[in-house]
A and B are shown apart, each in its own frame.
Chain A
């Protein structure tokens, strides 16, 4: 029966695993957009994070350094986006799409340059699930909560950290202010350009870690086209979450649960062709957008480049 999927521990564990990439990507995009910058580079930045993190682990075997490296690569890509959209004020749409194209094609180029002849992708030893002893044996949710890889816990901690940062720190207030009313922020002496640039860089770094989760924990190899629209879904999830980290967490979890459910429902029912199950995440994102966009309160300065002294 279909509902029986919901009472298997494996389903909830899978949902948490799937949620990790989405959570990191959504938090990253949220941070950028809260500062007033739409970052459509997310799809490419996740690809770059997946490739560069994996490559670091492949050559050194140091998984945590690989995560840091992926973050740095994402931040560099974010710096490019910030240079174009924040300092020069060009179209955030076009810059983001160009960045996605650049990051993904450059990732593939670098991958092919470093590993030219491999037909079967080489593998690494990925992050192992933590060993929490008896806690993992708790029925239903034990595996989901206590037998994940460290990156999943990092993602959860980052969700709390981003929420705390945005609502409880002066710098977080500055980020929200430059996204709502940059002229007011400027008059308070807040360096609008640098706050925006910082938010975009850190946000892009988080997206890249989200991508690297796929190659360092979820799978053990880098495949071409492996991000497969996950970045775009994160952009939809940010709107679904009304730009709030707490709501983003629940939205991501719901979304990941549905995705984990369709993976299993496919095996249980077997009635519909598999393509329709695969469509579900994309179709649900569109549906969520339709339902939540009407009352969405966008950060007021989103998409608007700030030019000092211009009204």
Chain B
């Protein structure tokens, strides 16, 4: 048996691959629900109801998808260049950290100026964070997977130190958290009495912008060329290091913006648990979106719905909430298999 590339690759096959992967993941994980002695269909019904069934669930799903869109774009942009940025979590915190430092009183500006400044600062902080592993990869052949992963732990410890030391809010009753950002820095709510904020608009706009960059600019062509075949790209006159640097700034910047959005849109102050793994979940988003910037938006909403819906379902049926993570992991592994069979066919002999 061997795999043979199909002569033509129809886009409907690629379109179906993530949907098939999700369906298969849900089917496999129904075994886990059955193990918990819970009715499978009812459980999935409760997940859907929890995520979309009410105004509260709906806005919560969209609010949680906001950082996932941005971290998903970050992963998609980097993976296109085969820059394996697994450091979205750390870049997220660096972005949030930059916004905390500038937004808690250091700058006094009109909101229309302050909010863009904070996002820019967060993007620079996130981009600079990824710049180090990208340069190490380009210059010294250092594997960026390991460096970006290890940086996540270092950055979290750095944030922990800052929140217990220099950035600690003296009025926080001993909790390690920063002071709140000034009122001018708070993102306006999109729907009153909900957690949905302007960050969603910014995230969707970012998706459109990344699509433009990726498919309508020279930089996007270079990024895709470097990812597809670095030797051919170099031969065609593409600077590999320069492209990796630009990709790193774009990818890290997007993850940093996710941190700013969460900080200024929801909590208002920095804590060590401001991200429940948004950086890592962004990788899943990007994979389910097959690295397409526009597909990142529905993929992020789907993942967010899984998390929000499973949360509310597990309260009713007492199933551990880790179910959602298992489903996402299954979907990532399966989507690769389904894409493979969209691209290849099995031949005997």
Q: If the complex has contacts A101-B325, A229-B149, A275-B157, are A94 and B332 also in contact, measured as CB distance less than 8 A?
A: yes
Q: What is the total number of residues of chain A having a CB less than 8 Å from a CB of chain B?
A: 47
Q: Chain A CB within 10 Å — which of B35, B153, B161, B283 has the most?
A: B153
- Judging by beta carbons under 8 Å apart, are B329 and A98 in contact? yes
- Judging by beta carbons under 8 Å apart, are B333 and A290 in contact? no
Q: If the complex has contacts A84-B337, A232-B149, are A273 and B161 also in contact, measured as CB distance less than 8 A?
A: yes
Alpha-carbon distance between A15 and B149 when the two chains are bound, in angstroms: 24
- B35 / chain A contacts, CB cutoff of 8 Å: 113
| Bitwise interface map of A from 267 to 308 toward B, beta carbon under 8 Å scored 1, else 0 | 000000101101100110110011001101000000000011
- A95 / chain B contacts, CB cutoff of 8 Å: 333, 336
Q: Chain A CB within 10 Å — which of B280, B329, B337 has the most?
A: B329
Q: If the complex has contacts A273-B164, A282-B153, are A116 and B318 also in contact, measured as CB distance less than 8 A?
A: yes
- Judging by beta carbons under 8 Å apart, are A308 and B333 in contact? no
Q: Does A102 contact B (CB under 8 A)?
A: yes
Q: Chain B CB within 10 Å — which of A84, A91, A98, A278 has the most?
A: A98
- Judging by beta carbons under 8 Å apart, are A290 and B329 in contact? no
Q: Does A68 contact B (CB under 8 A)?
A: no
Q: Which residue of A lies closest to B152 (CB)?
A: A229
Q: Does A223 contact B (CB under 8 A)?
A: no
Q: Which of A144-152, A177-185, A209-217, A233-241 contacts B (4 or more CB under 8 A)?
A: A233-241
CB distance from B27 to the nearest CB of A (A): 15
Q: If the complex has contacts A97-B283, A307-B3, are A236 and B150 also in contact, measured as CB distance less than 8 A?
A: yes
Q: Does A142 contact B (CB under 8 A)?
A: no
- B149 / chain A contacts, CB cutoff of 8 Å: 229, 232
- B136 / chain A contacts, CB cutoff of 8 Å: 289-290, 293
Q: Does B32 contact A (CB under 8 A)?
A: yes
| Bitwise interface map of B from 132 to 176 toward A, beta carbon under 8 Å scored 1, else 0 | 000010001111011101110110011011001100000000000
CB distance from B302 to the nearest CB of A (A): 16
Q: Which of A104-112, A155-163, A197-205, A253-261 contacts B (4 or more CB under 8 A)?
A: A104-112
- Judging by beta carbons under 8 Å apart, are B157 and A88 in contact? no
CB distance from A13 to the nearest CB of B (A): 26
Interface SS of B by simple majority: helix
Partner of B320, one of A90, A99, A108, A232: A108
- Judging by beta carbons under 8 Å apart, are A98 and B333 in contact? yes
- Judging by beta carbons under 8 Å apart, are A293 and B140 in contact? yes
- A308 / chain B contacts, CB cutoff of 8 Å: 2
Q: What is the total number of residues of chain B having a CB less than 8 Å from a CB of chain A?
A: 44
- Judging by beta carbons under 8 Å apart, are A278 and B157 in contact? yes
- B157 / chain A contacts, CB cutoff of 8 Å: 275-276, 278-279
- Judging by beta carbons under 8 Å apart, are B329 and A282 in contact? no
- Judging by beta carbons under 8 Å apart, are A289 and B153 in contact? no
- Judging by beta carbons under 8 Å apart, are A108 and B322 in contact? yes
- Judging by beta carbons under 8 Å apart, are A229 and B150 in contact? yes
- B36 / chain A contacts, CB cutoff of 8 Å: 113
- Judging by beta carbons under 8 Å apart, are A279 and B329 in contact? no
- Judging by beta carbons under 8 Å apart, are A109 and B150 in contact? no
- Judging by beta carbons under 8 Å apart, are B158 and A279 in contact? yes
Partner of B140, one of A116, A278, A285, A294: A294
Alpha-carbon distance between A228 and B326 when the two chains are bound, in angstroms: 19
- Judging by beta carbons under 8 Å apart, are B332 and A109 in contact? no
- B2 / chain A contacts, CB cutoff of 8 Å: 307-309
- Judging by beta carbons under 8 Å apart, are B143 and A239 in contact? yes
| Bitwise interface map of A from 62 to 95 toward B, beta carbon under 8 Å scored 1, else 0 | 0000000000000000001000100011110111
Q: Which residue of B lies closest to A292 (CB)?
A: B142
- B182 / chain A contacts, CB cutoff of 8 Å: none
- A228 / chain B contacts, CB cutoff of 8 Å: 153
Alpha-carbon distance between A239 and B144 when the two chains are bound, in angstroms: 13
Alpha-carbon distance between A229 and B323 when the two chains are bound, in angstroms: 22
Q: List 23 A-B contacts (CB under 8 A).
A: A40-B145, A80-B333, A84-B333, A94-B336, A98-B332, A105-B326, A105-B328, A106-B322, A109-B320, A112-B322, A229-B150, A235-B143, A236-B146, A236-B150, A239-B143, A275-B157, A276-B161, A278-B157, A286-B146, A286-B151, A289-B146, A293-B136, A293-B140
6 nearest A-B residue pairs (beta carbon): A105-B325, A102-B329, A112-B320, A101-B329, A275-B161, A98-B332
Known pairs A94-B332, A229-B153; list 17 more (Cβ under 8 Å): A88-B336, A94-B287, A97-B332, A101-B284, A108-B325, A228-B153, A232-B149, A236-B146, A273-B164, A275-B161, A279-B157, A282-B151, A282-B153, A286-B146, A289-B136, A293-B140, A293-B143
